[in-house]
Every structure is written in C-alpha cells, then in structure tokens.
C-alpha cells in the first residue's frame, strides 16, 4: 500500500475513499464478509464521517485559498494606484522644495523609494499627514494643484491599499490554517482507508470481483512455471527483433 504524502492528490484520496466506503455499505455481501473481520456498519460509518469531514475541509480550503488569491490581485491593483499617487506628490514636492532639505526630510523624501508594501504604506501615510500638519508646506503645494481636497483624495488611495493589504494578510492566515486542517483530515481519511483495504483483501480474497468493486486492482497469481514461460516468450520475441 502506498504511504501518505502531501504531494499525493487530495482529490484521488477523496474519490478512492468514497468508492471504498459507499460500495461496501451498499453491497450486503461485501459488508457481511468484512463484518466478520471487525468492519461492521458502525465502523464503516466512522469512515464515512471521516470522508464527510475531509470533503468539508477540502472545500473550505479551496474557498479560502480563492479568497486570498482574489485579495492578492486587489492588493496589486491598489498598490499601483497608491504608488502613482505617492510618486506624483513626491516628485512635485521634490521640485518645489529642491533647495530646502529640511522640508524634504520632514516629508520623508530624502531617502530611497520604499520597496515593500509595508514600507510604502508607512511612508505614504507619513507624507500626506506631514503635509496636512504644516501650513507652510500645504500652502506652497496648493500653488501646484495640491489643494486640501486633492491631498485628502490622494491620501485615501494609500489608506485603501492599507485596508486591502490587511484583509489579504488575514485571508492568508485563514487559508494557511484551512490548508493544515485539510491535510490532517485527508491524512486521517487516507490512513483509515488504507487499513480497511488491507483487511478487505483478507476478507474478500476468494472473490476478486468484490475487491475490484472497492477500486482495488487484483493481479492474477502465476505459478513459477507460468512466470518462466512468460519470460522465455519475451526473450524469444526480443531475439527475433534483433535478428
């Protein structure tokens, strides 16, 4: 039996377990035979509960992962808008106060452009708020199109980015937790299903068709003589191709 790993497809595990459990419960002959080895209706229904829980966790994980991805795209869009607002204002301020290093330092415009979104939000909010706090800076920028209304409008673009980024970070945490819960639920289901199939192979060893009904491949048992004849035939075929 294969061992569980995170790389094993969750969909395949869910599908296999669904086939195994439902086909057992719906086939009186299979149920009767595995019941003799401890897997009665009650124990099969325990497996069914694990299946239902794994399906629920799987669907929840997909939902929250999709939500997080949507918010990631929203952050990219909001960042592009906020970045443009920041750059436009900072370029105007640098031109207006090019000979006043003190004013540029007050606005946080003497260092490099913030690189991460977190740095950008802090710098962006500080830029707009420091303008609002200084009548001298505010009045000067008003001459170049940045009146009080525009300052507030442009600042809201930074605030909007901050809000969406906070939502995205929260969604990322929820998605990560949902993934962990999904993986645990699927592993629990996988372990139960693999153990059951081991017992089912014993209970149904005389009836290959019933084993196949559980989604289990059944290989014919060849004698050593038959295996030897098959190897001989393969070797003969290979020699004919080479000649």
Average pLDDT score over the chain: 89
Residue 220 lies in a domain: no
Percent of the chain with pLDDT over 90: 79
Model confidence at 236, pLDDT cuts 50, 70, 90, reads low
Supply 101's token pair.
């290093």
Is residue 25 assigned to a domain? Answer: yes
5 occurs within a structural domain: no
DSSP 214: T
CA 124/CA 128 separation, integer angstroms: 7
pLDDT tens across 133-150, in order? 999 999 999 999 999 999
Residue 228 maps to a domain: no
Nearest to 31 by CA among 215, 218, 220, 199: 199
Give dist(CA 194, CA 197) in Å, integer: 5
> What is the per-residue pLDDT for 87?
94
**Given 3-state DSSP classes, what are the helix, strand and coil percentages for the chain, each rounded to the nearest 5?**
80, 0, 20
What tokens does 18 get? 């669904």
Instruction: Provide the domain count of the chain.
Output: 1
DSSP string, 173-186: HHHHHHHHHHHHHH
Residue 229 lies inside a defined structural domain of this protein: no
Does 195 fall in a domain? yes
Residue 143 located in a structural domain: yes
The pLDDT tens digits of the residues spanning 5-29 come to 443 588 999 999 999 999 999 999 9
For residue 157, the number of C-alpha atoms closer than 13 Å in the C-beta half-sphere is 22
**What pLDDT shows up at residue 79?**
96
How confident is the model over 149-205, as pLDDT tens digits? 999 999 999 999 999 999 999 999 999 999 999 999 999 999 999 999 999 999 999
Q: What angle do CA 172, 166, 67 make, to 5 degrees?
A: 40
């Amino acid at each position: 039996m294969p061992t569980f790993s995170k790389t094993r497809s969750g969909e395949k595990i869910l599908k296999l377990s669904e086939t195994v459990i439902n086909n057992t419960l719906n086939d009186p002959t299979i149920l009767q035979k595995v019941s003799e080895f401890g897997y009665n209706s009650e124990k099969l229904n325990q497996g069914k509960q694990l299946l239902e829980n794994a399906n629920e966790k799987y669907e929840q994980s997909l939902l929250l992962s999709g939500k997080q991805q949507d918010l990631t795209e929203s952050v990219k869009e909001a960042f592009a808008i906020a970045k443009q607002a920041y750059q436009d204002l900072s370029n105007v301020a640098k031109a207006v106060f090019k000979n006043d290093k003190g004013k540029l330092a007050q606005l946080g415009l003497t260092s490099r452009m913030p690189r991460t979104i977190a740095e950008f939000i802090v710098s962006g909010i500080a830029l707009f708020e420091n303008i609002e706090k200084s009548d001298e800076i505010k009045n000067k920028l008003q001459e170049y199109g940045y009146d009080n209304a525009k300052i507030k409008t442009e600042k809201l673009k930074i605030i909007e980015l901050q809000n969406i980024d906070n939502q995205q970070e929260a969604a990322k945490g929820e998605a990560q937790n949902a993934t962990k819960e999904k993986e645990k639920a699927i592993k629990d289901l996988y372990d139960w299903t693999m153990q059951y199939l081991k017992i089912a192979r014993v209970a149904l060893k005389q009836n290959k068709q019933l084993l196949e009904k559980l989604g289990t491949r059944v290989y014919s048992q060849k004698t050593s003589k038959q295996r030897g004849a098959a190897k001989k035939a393969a070797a003969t075929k290979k020699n004919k191709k080479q000649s």
